[in-house]
Structure 1
């Protein structure tokens, strides 16, 4: 006899406001328990020290979470000059201290920041979730091991300083996926000749989402079940950057059964991906392989989406 899966078939996206001091997975599991959701996943890890926007996908939304993993992000971070730590943030042990020179002023910082706008190379930190031979780098770092890491190219679209103090400043950073803000701060500190680490980090935006709609676990805990469900965004909210296609029910049925649909009057070029709808129902993603031809790419389980928000 097959075992029944635990939890409810909840589908949608929650914009969670992660608090400092907890891992992203811990925040995810608490949210999952609140909704009694059968399936859940987040869309990009935040360090335990970090706060801010952590989109959580429930049910069928998890099929499309990669679109947020690939999305650009916006962060706010405080950079403390004159000290470096083994983790690049305030949770690590201080490994060096350097006095700040008298000539270090805002103009010098602004000049250095100009070097970090655009496409840059970063060496991923040892305290990261990247893997080496099946083990996460931070696990090896905690054992005192250092593994050589190849530099990666990332894009910093903009980096703006504000709220200056004697020992540092705040930065707002708009960047591509894969950008390590701790590493950015460390590299800026080295370019200034004094070293640096971050003492606060907040994610403000990811993809199409900003901070205005995010909800804390405490706020969610104070709600009724119906109120919490009303806070979920629909599954296709992560895919608004893709074109839409409306098809008749017979075409939808072929695609949902894994079959190609041909002879369609569509404007997609071969290789394009689009959101598929039949009426108001979101069915998933399809790909154009030839003029007038679609194949399934990533479809939802329409039978399972009984609790999807309107």
Structure 2
């Protein structure tokens, strides 16, 4: 295994928690320092970005990446969890399914910047404890709404009870909440019945490894961290400033035009860490240094 560790693109199967996947990866790689970005519900499947070794220091930057999902919605009932595993809150015995045109019109209303309230059954922490754990303890949980961005919302298929959607969205988007909100806009209770995460930034479903494949490849499956952080702009530092950056010193660059404030910083074509562009002082500020 490379001394600096790396990333894994793992395929989480339905029926396992994200923590279960990490526990197995630890045993397979014989490495304690492993973490994941973006928790998937136990019933969901798909891409689970995993960081190993020193690369765990970069997990927070993976979580900022945009995501893509394929989701199935069923109409006719709603639950406290937003999916079909929860306690039923309301139901209708019969209803007329909206037409494809009506559904597409509603989907258009959910494209762009929207306000969304995360489901109470979530991993969001309240005073250090996960909201879902608090609910299981019998405590009432109210989460504030947030702004998220839906870049694409495409209707793939339609049946008299269900629809299948593709969703491209920003970090922090809860697909269960999106399904509930779409149902409300159509005047029908709705739940999420199936979810596959197809992409997290540069991590794509078609490249994801099963746990069986990881057991075969072991450390050979590790990917270079910098190659999977393309949602952060690249900044090439003058080689003469590498030591200064690694020692936490700023580098002035009045000519740089930032695309993103957080940067992948390179020196002599080698990834050395994460920087931040300070627009007021026009300096590259070291945030995290990644040793070779």
Note whether the superposition's TM-score is higher than 0.5: yes
Q: What displacement does 1:110 show?
A: 1.8
Say whether residues 1:268 and 2:259 are aligned partners.
Answer: no
Distance in 1 between the 2:13 and 2:110 partners?
29
Q: What displacement does 1:272 show?
A: 5.0
Q: What displacement does 1:242 show?
A: 1.5
Distance in 1 between the 2:54 and 2:128 partners?
28
Identify which of 224, 229, 233 aligns with 2:219: 229
Q: Which residue pairs with 1:135 in the alignment?
A: 129
State the Cα deviation string for residues 279-306 of structure 1 (Å, max 9, x = none): 3532112345556x6442210133xxxx
Q: Which moved more, 1:78-87 or 1:98-107?
A: 98-107
Identify which of 239, 247, 253 aligns with 2:238: 247
State the Cα deviation string for residues 74-111 of structure 1 (Å, max 9, x = none): 11111010011121112212222113433632222222
Q: Which residue pairs with 1:20 in the alignment?
A: 14
Q: What displacement does 1:38 show?
A: 3.9
Whether the 8 Å contact between 1:74 and 1:174 is mirrored in structure 2 is yes
Whether the 8 Å contact between 2:15 and 2:43 is mirrored in structure 1 is yes
Q: Which moved more, 1:144-153 or 1:67-76?
A: 144-153
SS for the counterpart of 2:143 is coil
SS for the counterpart of 1:92 is coil
Q: Which residue pairs with 1:198 in the alignment?
A: 192
Distance in 1 between the 2:123 and 2:149 partners?
20
Identify which of 79, 90, 98 aligns with 1:96: 90
Whether the 8 Å contact between 1:259 and 1:296 is mirrored in structure 2 is yes
Q: What displacement does 1:260 show?
A: 4.1
Distance in 1 between the 2:262 and 2:106 partners?
41
* Structure 1 portions without partners, runs of 5+: 1-6, 303-310
Identify which of 246, 249, 256 aligns with 2:246: 256
Whether the 8 Å contact between 1:272 and 1:287 is mirrored in structure 2 is yes
Q: Which residue pairs with 1:308 in the alignment?
A: none
Q: Which residue pairs with 1:86 in the alignment?
A: 80
State how 1:197-216 maps to structure 2 within 5 Å: 197-216=191-210
- Compute the TM-score of the two structures, normalised by the length of structure 1: 0.84
Distance in 1 between the 2:128 and 2:115 partners?
24
Whether the 8 Å contact between 2:214 and 2:221 is mirrored in structure 1 is no
State the Cα deviation string for residues 247-303 of structure 1 (Å, max 9, x = none): 33x5322332334456x8x84258955433343532112345556x6442210133x
Structure 1 residues 286 and 146: CA distance shift in structure 2, 3 A: closer
- Compute the TM-score of the two structures, normalised by the length of structure 2: 0.88
Q: Which residue pairs with 1:4 in the alignment?
A: none
Q: Which residue pairs with 1:116 in the alignment?
A: 110
Q: Which residue pairs with 1:41 in the alignment?
A: 35
CA RMSD of aligned residues (A): 2.5
Q: Which residue pairs with 1:75 in the alignment?
A: 69
Structure 1 residues 181 and 119: CA distance shift in structure 2, 3 A: same
Whether the 8 Å contact between 1:64 and 1:238 is mirrored in structure 2 is no
